[in-house]
């Protein structure tokens, strides 16, 4: 793979990087990922950065010439993490790095790329400025989710996109919903989604939920195929706890970012609260959430004179 051309600057006039120790986390299963990750690592070296690879990334690509660190070690030692892959890769990595306050840049080797928005073809020119402090920070709220059984916590995890309670068998499930300690409703549906603004473009969108700008402090509560059609998605403040109790149904589970899950029984309660930390997502200067929506959701297709 040929390394994309980087902008040329005389060494004497180039400003120093503000991120000296940079870790790379890659979607190592993807075709061509080894060469892509090596290209990025070599580029970072030319910019004066110390480079490390996440342990599983190094192991599965064979790029053993770079130091390898676990995600916990990256959180403790690195100034910046580059996530190379798609949004699924970012979800898995972001949940774990957010607690350390390490800023993250996403380089897209996936499909949609709502969060991994730096195109691989553009990474040298884009990272050149970002490594020197030319970026826009976009904090993303996370969910702290707990499953309570007979008052005891039996499962706890984090989510960046959503918490989904749904069924695996025929028939609807019945759920009781409280918000901020107040009863809201009992719903019969195929399931229920609690989504962050980040997750409002994911499963919640297909369930008819609204798009939330990342700067909004709120959750989307969206039923999946509700029995009562007046049960519509609602936007809730994220400073209040949402409690979902399983009342009826069979083979029910809770999914978190569609990457981890746990089985539920009648009487279980799923507590959803805002986590105590955020993901520090970095974008190039000039980034706009509306540009992302327009490009990824194809809002301008068929429109003449669509550019501002």
> pLDDT band at 62, cuts 50/70/90?
very high
Query: What does the pLDDT read at residue 33?
Result: 86
From the candidates 39, 87, 138, 268, which is the catalytic residue?
Answer: 87
Rounded to 10 deg, the angle between the 123-130 and 33-46 helix axes is 40
Residue-averaged pLDDT of the chain: 92
Asked if residue 212 has pLDDT above 50, the reply is yes
Query: What does the pLDDT read at residue 31?
Result: 66
DSSP string, 61-94: HT-TTS-EE-HHHHHHH-SEEEEEE-HHHHHHHH
Instruction: Give the β-pairing of 234-237 and 242-248.
Output: unpaired
Query: What does the pLDDT read at residue 301?
Result: 73
Q: Number of C-alpha atoms within 13 angstroms, CB side, residue 15?
A: 10
Query: Annotated catalytic, 87?
Result: yes
Spatial contact of 227 and 188, defined as CB atoms under 8 Å apart? yes
Query: pTM to 2 decimals?
Result: 0.90
Structural domains of the chain ordered from first start = 21-133 (3.40.50.10330), 142-275 (2.60.200.30)
Taking alpha carbons only, the member of 281, 139, 278 closest to residue 214 is 139
> pLDDT band at 170, cuts 50/70/90?
confident
For 16-49, write each residue's pLDDT tens digit.
999 999 999 998 776 678 999 999 999 999 999 9
Query: What does the pLDDT read at residue 300?
Result: 81
């Amino acid at each position: 793979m040929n390394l994309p051309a980087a902008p040329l600057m005389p060494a004497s006039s180039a400003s120093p990087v503000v991120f000296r120790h940079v870790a790379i986390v890659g979607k190592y299963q993807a075709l061509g990922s080894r060469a892509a990750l090596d290209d990025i690592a070599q580029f970072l070296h030319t910019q004066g950065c110390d480079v490390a690879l996440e342990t599983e990334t190094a192991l599965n690509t064979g790029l053993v010439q770079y130091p390898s660190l676990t995600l916990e070690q990256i959180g403790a030692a690195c100034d910046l993490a580059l996530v190379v892959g798609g949004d699924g890769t970012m979800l898995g990595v972001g949940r774990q790095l957010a607690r350390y306050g390490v800023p993250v840049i996403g380089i897209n080797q996936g499909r949609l790329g709502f969060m991994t928005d730096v195109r691989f073809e553009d990474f040298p020119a884009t990272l050149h400025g970002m490594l020197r402090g030319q970026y826009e920070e976009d904090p993303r709220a996370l969910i702290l989710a707990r499953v309570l059984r007979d008052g005891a916590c039996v499962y706890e995890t984090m989510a960046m996109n959503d918490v989904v309670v749904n069924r695996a068998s025929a028939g609807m499930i019945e759920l009781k919903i409280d918000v901020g300690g107040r009863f809201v409703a009992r719903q019969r549906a195929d399931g229920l989604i609690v989504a962050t603004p980040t997750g409002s473009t994911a499963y919640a969108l297909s369930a008819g939920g609204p798009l939330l700008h990342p700067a909004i402090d709120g959750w989307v509560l969206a039923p999946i195929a509700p029995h009562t059609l007046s049960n519509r998605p609602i936007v809730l403040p994220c400073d209040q706890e949402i409690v979902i109790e399983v009342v009826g149904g069979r083979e029910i589970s809770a999914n978190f970012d569609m990457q981890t899950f746990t089985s539920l029984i009648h009487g279980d309660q799923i507590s959803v609260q805002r986590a105590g930390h955020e993901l520090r997502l970095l974008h190039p200067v000039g980034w706009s959430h509306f540009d992302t929506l327009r490009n990824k959701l194809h809002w301008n297709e068929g429109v003449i004179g669509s550019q501002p």
